[in-house]
Amino acid sequence: MRLKPKRVFDEFFLYSSQFVVFFILLLFITPASEALRPTAIALVVCFLLVQISLLAGQGHKPVLRVLYSLITPAGYALVRTLMGGFAPWDMSNVFLWGASCYVGLFQALALAARRRWIKRSAETLLALGAVLILVFFYFYLDLRLGLTRGLAAGTVSRAEFQLALDATSFGPAFAAFLAAPQNLFLIFGVATLGLMLLASKVQVIGLRGRIEALFGTARIDEKAPTPERAPGEAVAVTAISADIRDFTNLADRVQPERAVAILNRYYALWAVAAERHGGRLAGLAGDSVIVVFGLLGEKDRAERALACAYDFIAELPGLQDDLASASLPGPAEVSIGIHSGTIVAGELGVAGSRRLGVFGEAVSVAARLDSLCREFKQDLLLSQPVFRELELESQARLVRIGDVLLRNSTQPVPVYGRK
């Protein structure tokens, strides 16, 4: 099972494994007669590492997500039992099992749900749960430290110590915890972080929903309105050409059906970006995508094309996260070329299966700029004709990268990239 560092990192920080570490540190820094010894804590840490590894590798399957989330609680219970000090209703044990079951179940629901509102609801409850889990564990830490000091000073008996940490004592102890102003401030801070996490997750879900709505249909839409034109007509447009860098090697590392799944999601993201800015998917071949702007004579075609490219680049990390959640390798880098020029547009194909097809100078130059992205170490290159059509605000976000010899030009011409 091959694990990606980013996936392990996400599993630890975004899927609430960190609360288990908080719990383990809590046991280590609160000396008491029944506290876990360093060897026992090391065993619990090993269970946690196994849990994170399994979740990072196979946690995209809902059933396994639930089962693997229980590894650390089970390991803790086993260690406690072997030490002869296992108390099922101790707050620490109840919190650990409760938090693991809560997180595992709602993560599985978010993975298995097909409707976006169910996914959003599950993510909302996960964010709320993360806030409550951290608050409860901090409450337990505060309670345990106070009781440990009392036990050392002789003001708290061992029986009182154990009773105060029992789950039946939670209500009065938590009410006393909330009475302290500093604890209310802590809850406010944790809740703010939870809302930030929720906003990020909802954004990813929204992108995933749009991709799934187009999944398998990220191609030229035969029913989309097209201008009435002759069988073949020259049109002035702005064209985008894009492809995935080193896609051949990526595809060689996965099974054919998984490579198709990657491409379909990649196509769908371009379809979303193109539709949002009034562009038209005009060509899909392997990992190469052609999008054209201006087929209906729009004057702001260059602005639309650049905004579409920016939009795709901004959404690419969300696509990578979506693919990672399904244990699929995502496109690490995408090259994009943009050029304004003339194309020939027409219905191409045999009777009954004709679709809009484009070819000509704008497409070939955009493809040339696309390939030059590697040489100039850029993710986006656009030609001087595109730059001249842009508004001053858009031009200010670009910088001249160099001069290249393009098709039908006898001298090198400037090309531009992002600052």
Distance CA 160, CA 156 (A): 6
Distance of CA 409 to the CA centre of its chain: 42
Whole-number pLDDT of residue 272: 87
Least Cα distance to 300 among 357, 340, 360 occurs for 340
Whole-number pLDDT of residue 230: 46
Is the pTM of the predicted complex or chain greater than 0.75? no
Helix (H, G, I), strand (E, B), or coil: what is residue 90? strand
C-alpha R_g of the chain: 29
Whole-number pLDDT of residue 333: 83
Q: At what angle do helices 181-214 and 301-325 cross, to 10 degrees?
A: 110
Least Cα distance to 330 among 275, 264, 285, 394 occurs for 264
Residues 6+ apart with CB under 8 A from 292: 237, 238, 239, 240, 279, 280, 282, 343, 345, 358, 362, 363
Whole-number pLDDT of residue 21: 63
Whole-number pLDDT of residue 415: 92
pLDDT digits (tens), the chain, 419 positions: 455 666 666 666 655 555 666 666 666 655 555 556 777 778 877 888 888 888 877 777 888 888 988 888 888 888 878 877 677 888 878 888 888 888 888 888 877 887 777 877 887 787 777 778 778 878 888 888 888 888 888 888 888 888 888 889 999 998 988 888 888 887 887 777 667 666 665 555 554 554 444 443 333 343 444 444 445 678 888 999 998 887 777 777 778 887 888 888 888 888 888 888 888 888 878 788 999 998 877 788 999 999 999 999 988 887 777 677 666 666 778 899 999 988 887 666 555 555 666 788 888 899 999 989 988 889 999 999 999 999 988 999 999 998 888 766 667 889 999 98
Whole-number pLDDT of residue 218: 39
Tokens 């609430």, residue located:
16
Whole-number pLDDT of residue 241: 93
pLDDT in tens, 96-124: 888 888 888 888 887 788 777 787 788 77
